[in-house]
Structures are given as C-alpha cells and as structure tokens.
Structure 1
Amino acid sequence: MNWQIPAILGGTALVLLLVLWAVWEFVASAENRRLIAARSALAQAEYNASTPLATLDARLRRTEWGSRLARRLARSGTDLRPATFVAALVSGSLLAVVVVWQILAPFFGLLAAAGVAFLFFTYLRRAEAKRREEFTGQLPDLARVLGNATSAGLALPTAVAIAADELDGPAGEELGRMAESMKLGASFEEAISDLRERMPSRELGVLLSTLVVASRSGGSLVTALRNISSTLESRKETRREVKTILSETTSTVWALGFMSVGALFMINAISPGVMRTMTSTGAGIAVLLVVAALFAIGFALVSRITRFKM
C-alpha cells in the first residue's frame, strides 16, 4: 500500500503535465497565428515544422510503425497527425490508469490502459472502413462519369480530373490526389497503384484493372465502364442489405462489452473494496484473466463471423 500512493500521485502529475502542455501548445499557436499572418507561406511552414509536436511527428514518420500509422490516418480521412494520435493515446491511457487504479484496483488500471489503446485503434479501424465503404458506394457514379468523359473523346487522365471535380466526399478527394500525382510526373499506372493501396476493395480493383487494360491496349472502354457501373450499383445494394442484417449482432457485442465493464464498477460500489480484495490473491487474478480472455475470444469470433467480403 505504501508504494501505491506515490504511484497514483506520479501518474496524476504526469497527466496534468500533458494537459498543461496541450493548453500551452494551443495558446502559443493561437498567439503565433496572429504574428505569422503577415509573413510568407515559407515562414509559416518553417514555424509549423519547428514546434515540439511537429518534431515528434517527423521522428515517428521515420519509423516503420509511425509511417504505417500515418498511412492509416490518411486512409481514415482524419486530419490527425501521428504525433497527435500517439499523444492522445498516451494521455488517455494514463488517465484511465490513474482513475481506475484509484476506484477499483491496480490490476484493473493496467487493463484500463489496454482497453483505451484498443478503443483508439478500433476507432481508427472503423473510420478506415467507413471511408472505404463511402468510397465504394461512389464507384457506380465514378464509372458513369468516366464513361461519359471517355465517350466525349477525353483521355483517361483528363477524365479522372473531371471526375475529381464532379464527385464529392472521399472519391473526389482520392481522385484529386491521383490527378495531382499525374501532374507531378507519375504515370497513370503508378497513380492507380497508389489509389488501390489507399482504398483497397474488390470493386475498385475491377474498375482500375479495366482502366489499366484500356490505357494499354485500347478497346471499348465506354461500354465496359457502363456495364461496370450497373454491376457496381447492384453490388452496392447487396452490401447495404448485408450490413443492415449484421449490424444488430455487432451492436449487441459492443453493448455486452460495455455492460461487463459497468458491472465491475457497480459491484465495487455495492461492496466497496471487493475488487481490490479479489485482485490481492492469485486465484482472484486468475479468474479475472479467464473471464477477460473469454470476452476477448468471443468478441474476436463474432467480429470474424460478421466480417464479409464481396
């Protein structure tokens, strides 16, 4: 018990320091935005690159894990940088450790930190999936716009630029990146490869393969795009129906998970200190680990069962 109080105080102090650092960053950036208003764009970029958060972001991007995280954040459509994501993850984990440690027991504080990390990466994964679904839903319109542009005699790079202006949401943004990369000297095949890496899906793979074949060997691209557009439209309706059917199961799994966590706090509120007493013995810790493992296995199995690919 003597070592718990300094640990709790140290964790609280560290969380407060992180919060104060975030407030200082916000105030300093707000003050410097007024000073930079009259400067050139180069001076503003140099200032943005000299902040501690930008330095941490640059170091993270040089690592394999950081570059992979940056790609995932870009695919999710969020404006967060890897350094911001990591800082929020660490702050949330420390805060969860301090709060749960003090309310329940030190054992649950460690589990809370793992739970916060799981929630952060689950949110990132769902954001990626949501943006990918939105992009897939726009593929019929994309094929239709490309078909109309090519039927008017326009080249594929020009048709892509027109589609980027015509479409909203993730499709317009991704096609805009593709058009910009081709303006900077990338070939059509390289731009398509980058787009397929950012938005992996079977529907997009079929559409892009058709475009690559047409750019290399020619053929009736207009007819192919119109056929693909009608096929993608029917697949879009099927995906929506399957997702609606499976949404009830996934919502139930998440509800059970949050209810189990709430049950721990409720039991501890009814009998104060029971969780701390339970985690003071090896048998109690073993029971809790078995229960946590069963919940994790059940969640993983349901997630795998409800995952579908078309």
Structure 2
Amino acid sequence: MNMQTLALAFLAATAIGGLAWVFLYPVLSGEKKAENRRASVAKSEPAARQVDKTQRSRREQVEGSLKELEARRQKEKRLPLSSRLTQAGLDWTPRKFMVASAILGAVCFVIAVLAGGGLLAGVGLAFAGGFGLPRWVLSFLKKRREKNFLKALPDAVDVIVRGIKAGLPLFESIKVVAADSPEPLRSEFLAIIETQAIGMPLGEACARLYERMPVPEANFFGIVVAIQQKSGGNLSEALGNLSKVLRDRKKMAEKIQAMSMEAKASAGIIGSLPPIVMLLVYLSTPQYISLLWTHPTGQLMLVGCVIWMSIGIFVMRRMINFDF
C-alpha cells in the first residue's frame, strides 16, 4: 500500500512539474519576452530595407511575374478539344479525334468480349480505350512538346537579344530564330511571323504565343514584347534578364528532378512489389493465390488492396511532385 502511494505521489509530482515546466518556465525565464521581442523586430523592417524591397532587381520581378501568370492561368476554364489538339502539335480536327477514339473503344470492346471477359469487362475496357487512352496520349504529347519548347527557348531569346544589339529589328531577329531553331520552337515563331504578316501588330502576335504553348515562359515573352511595342524601353535588357531567369528555372527543375529521383524509385518499387509477388506466387502455387479472385471474400480483399494501393501511390506522387 505504501509503495502504491509513493508511486502515485511520484507520478503526480512529475505531472505537476511537467506542466509547470511547459507553462511557467518560459514566463519566469524570460523566453516569452525574448520571443515577443524577436517577433516585433522581425515585423518592423528598417527604412533602408523597405527601400531595397521596393527596388528589387529585374530578375526577382520576372520570377514573381511568372508565378503570378501561372497561378492566374490555372484558374481559367478548361480548354476546348481543338485548342488541346493544337497545343499537342496535332493537325487533327476534333471530329477526327472523336472518330478515332470511338474506333479504338470499339476494338477494345470486341477484344475483351472475344477473350471471354464478359460484357462488364468489355464496357470497362472500351471506356478506358476510347476515352482514357486517347486523352492520356494527348496530354503526353502536349507535355513533351512543352518540354522541347522550354529547352530551346533560352537560346532563342539569346539570339533575339544579340540581333537587337547588333542593330536588327525585332521582327528580323524573330525570323532568324524561326529559320534556325528546332521544333516546336520553329513552328511557333513561324506562326508569329505569319500572324504579323496578315496585319496583326507584332506585340499582339507574340502575346498569342501562350494560346498555342501554355507555359508561363511563353506568356511572359509575349508580355515583354507587347509592353515594349506600346511603351518602348530597353528590349534587349528585358529579354536578357528573361533569358537568365529561364536558365535558372531550368537548373532548378533539373535539381528538383535529381533530388526527387530517390523518392520516385522508392514509389516505383513499393508500387510494383504486390503485383510481382502475386505473379510469383501464382507461378509457384496457383491454387493458393487463386482464392483471391474465385472466393467472394478474396475478391473483396483484392478490391480493397487495389483501392489502398491506388491511394498510396497517389499520395506518394503528390509528395514528390514539386511545383516551383
């Protein structure tokens, strides 16, 4: 009895001492006052610091503008199918794309039915082949085209800057880029030349580059040219700063990709382990693993495993998908 009393007293004293340490020690030791003082000092910036903040470098302004433009464009409504086909670099009409998707879905349905999958499996495979696969391919082509465009854009901007410094007009410098650049940069700048040739101002023609290539760098290039055409200014300096920012963003993207490769490899290994183990068990003892799709309880467990694995892969993808 005495031991229980001593144990309870010790626990009570420890609990009271812990609470006092958490709540009373910061006040008595002055840590709370020091923290408030540091917060007040951090909030009130000196006048010289405020002046430096208002006079930021052009590079920081360009980076901030790119982020604002990207956030603004993400809030816009979904693009029609014709614009998505143009952004993917395809000259198809929406009707041709829909017909091809319908044919692919019908082929997948026939294959599933002939393979003995049943009507439900045929409908599911037809939906995946006619609706999901074509749009995935369209998104893949769009991203690949944007990646190739961003890879060649800094060099093209440098060519324009050197041409302007050498005395060439902006339109002639764009012609040089259109003649010597790789695809898709060549076709995009040719579109700018063709649009300007029919009477549209060069600034507006460059501003429309974003409609065909929806990346913030292309949008900012169009805005810089459009502002210079309206209000004047040192275009070579502005484009030179833009080229520097584009190269820094490219370095940052490559650095992020290198740092996230370990997490991507871990996600791939973890996601592929269950199917691989299931296949190996089926090859060795098929009667043992076949209960997963022959017994109702096994089917329920298999569906639950697929759902949880999908959630895990989605969470890991969100964790390693960096947006900058």
TM-score tier by shorter-chain length is 0.5 to 0.7
State how far apart, in whole Å, the 2-side matches of 1:221 and 1:159 are.
12
> Residues 16-55 of structure 1 correspond to what in structure 2 (within 5 A)?
none
Identify which of 97, 121, 133 aligns with 1:85.
97
Pairing 1:193-208 to 2, within 5 Å after superposition: 193-208=207-222
1:145 to 140, 159, 181: 159
Percent of matched pairs sharing the same residue: 24
1:169 aligns to what SS in structure 2? Answer: coil
| 1:177 equivalent in alignment to 2:191 | yes
- Counterpart position of 2:225: 211
Question: Do structure 1's residue 110 and structure 2's residue 123 form an aligned pair?
Answer: yes
Q: How many residues align?
A: 243
Determine if contact 2:203/2:227 at 8 Å carries over to the other structure. no
- Tell me which moved more, 240-249 or 81-90: 240-249
- In 2 relative to 1, CA 145–79 (structure 1 residues): closer, same or farther, beyond 3 Å? same
- Matches of 2:196 and 2:99, distance apart in 1: 35
Q: What residue is the counterpart of 1:231 in the other structure?
A: 245
Whole-angstrom distance in 1 between the partners of 2:265 and 2:136:
14
| 3-state SS of paired residue (1:209) | helix
AA in 2 matched with 1:143: V
- Cα gap change, 1:205 to 1:125, in 2 (>3 Å): same
What displacement does 1:284 show?
8.1
- Note if contact 1:97-1:109 (Cα within 8 Å) is conserved in structure 2: yes
How many angstroms does 1:193 deviate by? Answer: 2.9
Alpha-carbon distance change, 292 to 308 in structure 1, aligned in 2, over 3 angstroms: same
Q: 2:134, 2:159 → 1: CA distance?
A: 37
Match of 2:75 in 1: none
C-alpha deviation, 1:250, in angstroms: 5.8
User: Does the 8 Å CA contact 1:104/1:276 hold for their aligned counterparts?
Assistant: no
Give TM-score, length-normalised by structure 2.
Answer: 0.60
Whole-Å separation in 1 of the counterparts to 2:108 and 2:273: 15
Whole-angstrom CA distance in 2 between matches of 1:251 and 1:124: 26
Q: What are structure 1's unaligned runs of at least 5 residues?
A: 1-64
> 2:82 maps to what in 1?
70
Shift of 1:196: 1.1
CA distance in 2, matches of 1:197, 1:191: 11
CA displacement at 1:174 relative to structure 2: 0.4
SS in 2 for 1:231: helix
Question: Any conservation in 2 of the 1:156–1:215 contact (CA below 8 Å)?
Answer: no
User: Which residue identity does 2:82 align to in structure 1?
Assistant: A
Shift of 1:246: 4.3
Post-superposition shift, 1:307? Answer: 3.5
Greater C-alpha Rg: 2
Structure-1-length-normalised TM-score: 0.62
| Counterpart amino acid of residue 131 in structure 1 | R
